[in-house]
Structure 1
Amino acid sequence: MSITLPETGFVRLPQVLQIIPVCKAAWWKGIVEGRYPKGVKLAPRTTAWRVEDIRALIDRLSNEGGA
């Protein structure tokens, strides 16, 4: 899989789920449980995640051995 993240900025959930192979429900549950980073509300119905937080999650998951 060759999904590239921008150097900085934000990514929306569809991009995140291409990188972290979980369903939406599992992603949101993981946020509540503290496994995944919280998003940033950009508008009432728009949430995005800092690229830096997603990169840190990828590093952590690769060190743990899975999602």
Structure 2
Amino acid sequence: MRPNNPSPLDTQSDLRSVAPLTLRARLLRLPQVVELVGVKKSTIWKWASEGAFPRPLKLSKGVTVWRAADVLEWIEERSKLSR
């Protein structure tokens, strides 16, 4: 029987508590990307298809992820542009 120990990114509220360096090394699923960026899933997909957001990686037929480092870099670039 497997222990019931969730990973650090199992819930949205836990996402904010992960150390930035640890987060950068992770792969993020769509709900985690939505939580970080603050827009709807459809917007993430639209921006990615237009080249305005990092493209996801397809790990398998049903598993799509984004490199956290790419998403965080995108957020930082947007922050610099808005100053």
Q: Same fold (TM over 0.5)?
A: yes
Q: Deviation per CA, 1:2-60, whole angstroms, max 9, x where unpaired? A: 72452302011111111101111111000011111001111112100111101111111
Higher relative contact order (CA 8 A, sep 6+): 1
Pair 1:48-2:73 in alignment: no
CA RMSD of aligned residues (A): 1.8
Give the structure with higher Rg (CA): 2
Distance in 1 of aligned mates of 2:68 and 2:79: 16
Gaps of 5+ in 2: 1-12
**TM-score normalised to the size of structure 2?**
0.68
Q: Secondary structure at the match of 2:53?
A: coil
> What is the aligned-residue identity percentage?
31
Partner of 1:27: 44
- Number of corresponding residues: 65
- Higher strand share goes to which structure? 1
